[in-house]
Amino acid sequence: MVITDKELWTVIHGMLLGAIFFMAFSGIWVTLFSLHPERTAGVVQRVRGLKIAGWATAIILWLTVFTGTYIVYPWYRAKPPEGADLTQFPRSYLLASPDRAGWHNFGMEWKEHVAWLAPILVTAVAYIISRYGVKLVEEEKIRKAVILVFTIALIAALAAVVFGAFLNKAAPIK
Amino acid sequence: MQQNNGPTNGPAAAALLAAGIGSLALGLFVILAEASKSVNNALNFYNPVGPLSGKTTLAIVIWILSWMMLHGLWKNKQVSFAGVFTVSVILIILGLLGTFPPFFDLFAG
Per-residue pLDDT reduced to its tens digit, B52-75: 999 999 999 999 999 999 999 999
CB contact under 8 A, B85 and A70: no
CB contact under 8 A, B23 and A121: yes
CA dist B63 and B53 (Å) reads 15
Closest CA to B66 of B23, B106, B109, B4: B23
For residue B14, the chain A residue with the least C-alpha distance is A124
Mean pLDDT of A16-35: 86
Which sign, positive or negative, has the C-alpha torsion B87, B92, B98, B101? negative
Name which of A70, A117, A138 to mutate to probe chain B: the one with the most chain B Cβ atoms within 10 A of its Cβ.
A117
Predicted pLDDT at B4 = 45
Q: Chain B partners of A146 at a C-beta cutoff of 8 Å?
A: 12
CA dist A118 and A18 (Å) reads 12
Buried b (16+ CB within 10 A) or exposed e, A18-39: bebbeebbeebeebbeebeeee
CB contact under 8 A, B53 and A69: yes
Predicted pLDDT at A125 = 97
CB contact under 8 A, B92 and A142: no
Mean pLDDT of A147-164: 94
CA dist B8 and B78 (Å) reads 5
Mean pLDDT of B11-24: 98
Do residues A152 and B23 touch, judged by C-beta distance below 8 A?
A: no
Of A65, A77, A120, the CB nearest to B63: A120
Of A114, A120, A148, the CB nearest to B89: A148
Among the ranges given (A82-96, B11-25, B29-43), the one the predictor scored with the smallest mean pLDDT: A82-96
CB proximity B63 to A under 8 Å: yes
Residue A7's pLDDT band, with cuts at 50, 70 and 90, is confident
CA dist B32 and B54 (Å) reads 12
Predicted pLDDT at B6 = 52
Q: Chain B partners of A152 at a C-beta cutoff of 8 Å?
A: 89, 92, 96
Q: Chain B partners of A70 at a C-beta cutoff of 8 Å?
A: 46, 48-49
Residue B2 has pLDDT above 60, yes or no: no
For residue A70, the chain B residue with the least C-alpha distance is B49
CA dist B61 and B69 (Å) reads 12
According to DSSP, the residues that pair with A36 across neighbouring strands are A39
Q: Give 3-state DSSP helix, strand, coil % of chain A, rounded to 5.
A: 80, 0, 15
CB contact under 8 A, B26 and A112: no
pTM strictly above 0.90: yes
CB contact under 8 A, A128 and B11: yes
CA dist A66 and A12 (Å) reads 12
Of A74, A114, A139, the CB nearest to B48: A74
The 3 state secondary structure assigned to A94-158 is: HHCCHHHHHHHHHHHHHHHHHCCHHHHHHHHHHHHHHHHHHHHHCCHHHHHHHHHHHHHHHHHHH
B78, containing H or E segment: strand B77-78
Mean pLDDT of A60-76: 94
Which amino acid is located at B80 in the chain? S
According to DSSP, the residues that pair with B50 across neighbouring strands are B46
Q: What is the least distance, in Å, from the CA of B108 to any CA of chain A?
A: 13
Closest CA to A120 of B31, B3, B107, B27: B27
Among the ranges given (A35-39, A114-118, B20-24, B47-51), the one the predictor scored with the smallest mean pLDDT: A35-39
Decide: helix, strand or coil at residue A159. Answer: helix
Mean pLDDT of A3-19: 83
Q: Chain B partners of A135 at a C-beta cutoff of 8 Å?
A: 7
